[in-house]
Structure 1
Amino acid sequence: MSLINRLDSSAIEFVHSLHNNFNFLDYFFSLVTNMGDALFLFIVIITFLIFKKTRLCGINMAVSCFIAFIITAVILKPLIARERPITEYYDYWVAVGSHIETSFSCPSSHATVSFAVYLPIFLYFNKLYSFLAVVLALIISFSRVYLMVHYMSDVIFGAFVGIIVSFVVYVFINKKIVIVS
C-alpha cells in the first residue's frame, strides 16, 4: 500500500471515528462545506470588490479563484479521473449524510478555491485576525474529507494548488519580488 493510500485510509478512519463519537459534526461540516461553494465564494469576492479599502484583495481573490478553478476542475480532474471515496466507503458516506458530487475526486475544487479566495485575506490584512481566513479554508477542506466526498490527498493537492495560485497572483498584482534565502 502506497504512502498516499495509507494517508487516505487513515484520514477516513479518523473522520469516521469523529462521526461515531460526535454526530453533531455531520451537521456542522455540512454547513461549513457550503462556504466553499461557488455562490458563497462569489458573494465574498463581490463584497471585497465593492469597498475601496478591500478592492485589491478582492481582485486577487477573483483572479485566483478563476485560475485555480480552471486548473483543477477543467484540466486536472478529467486528467487524473480519480473516483470519489463513495466507491470504497459507501457505508461511511451514507452515515455522514450522502452528499452528492458528480465530478471526479482529485484534486478537491472546494479546497482549491477556498484557499484561492481566503488566503488573500491573510496576505493583505492584519495577520493577528486574518489568519482566521486560512483556518476557515482548512476547515472547509477538512469538511470534504469528513463528508466522504474527497480523500485527504485530494484535499491536500487542491489546497496546494489554491495556495500557489493565490500567492503568484498576489506577487504579480503587487509587483513584489520574493527572494528566498
Structure 2
Amino acid sequence: MIDYFKKIDMKFSKYINENLRSYLLDKIMRIITRLGDLGFVWIIIGTICILKKTYKVEGNMILSALVVSTILGEGIIKHTVKRERPSAVEEEELIISKPKTYSFPSGHTASSFAVVGILIATGSRLKIYALILAILIAFSRIYLNVHYLSDVLSGVLLGLICSSIVFCYIQL
C-alpha cells in the first residue's frame, strides 16, 4: 500500500516538474511559500483578530490552532515518520533554501488549514480568501519540490483536525 502512494507522489511531482515549471511561476511560488514560513501570514491574521474586540475569540482560536498543529506536526509526527524531502530523494536542485526538517506532514499546509478550519467554523468573511491562500501555499510546497502530494494532503487533514480540536475545546 505504501508503495502505491509513493508511486502517486512521484508521478504527481514529475508531472509538475515537466509540465508546469516556468520562470514566472518559480517567482510567484517563492513568494507564496514565504507567506507560510513559520505561519507568518496566519500569525499576523490571528494577532489582528485579537486586537479587534469583536474578533478576539477567533484570534485566540487561530493562534491556538497554530500552536496545536506545530506541536503535533513539527514536534511529534515529523520526528516519528522521518520522511526525507523529495529533493533529497530525487537529488534535484531547489529554487528556495533547503528546509531543515523532515517532509511528512507539510507544516506550511497544516498551519494554513488549521486557520482555514477556524475561519470556516466561526463563519468568518475571510474564509474564502484564506482557503485560496492555503491552497496556493500547499501547492507551492509541491511545486518547489520540498513536499510530496501525500505530505500536503496529510497537512490538510492535520490542520483541519487541529482546528476542530481547538474550536470544540474553546466552545466548551
TM-score by length of 1: 0.85
What 5-or-longer segments of structure 2 have no aligned partner? Answer: none
Number of residue pairs the alignment of both structures matches: 169
Does 1:116 pair with 2:114? yes
> 4, 17, 20: which one pairs with 1:18?
20
Q: CA deviation at 1:126?
A: 5.0
Aligned residue runs from structure 1 range 153-172, under 5 A: 153-172=150-169
Mapped to 2, the partners of 1:89 and 1:7 lie a distance apart of: 15
* Post-superposition CA distance 1:75-120 (Å, at most 9, x none): 11111011111122233x43xx143201111111111111112322
Mapped to 1, the partners of 2:50 and 2:12 lie a distance apart of: 37
Does 1:147 pair with 2:151? no
Amino acid at match of 1:123: A
Mapped to 1, the partners of 2:24 and 2:138 lie a distance apart of: 18
Mapped to 2, the partners of 1:166 and 1:115 lie a distance apart of: 8
* Post-superposition CA distance 1:110-165 (Å, at most 9, x none): 111111123222222356x6223122111111110110111111111111111011
Any conservation in 1 of the 2:78–2:102 contact (CA below 8 Å)?
Answer: yes
Mapped to 2, the partners of 1:143 and 1:136 lie a distance apart of: 10
Mapped to 2, the partners of 1:126 and 1:63 lie a distance apart of: 17
Q: 1:103 to 1:65 in 2, by over 3 A?
A: same
Mapped to 1, the partners of 2:16 and 2:137 lie a distance apart of: 14
Any conservation in 1 of the 2:13–2:148 contact (CA below 8 Å)?
Answer: yes
What 5-or-longer segments of structure 1 have no aligned partner? Answer: 176-181
Q: 1:132 aligns to what?
A: 129
Does 1:32 pair with 2:32? yes
Secondary structure of the equivalent of 2:20?
Answer: helix
Which runs of at least 4 in structure 1 moved beyond 6 Å after TM superposition? none
TM-score by length of 2: 0.89
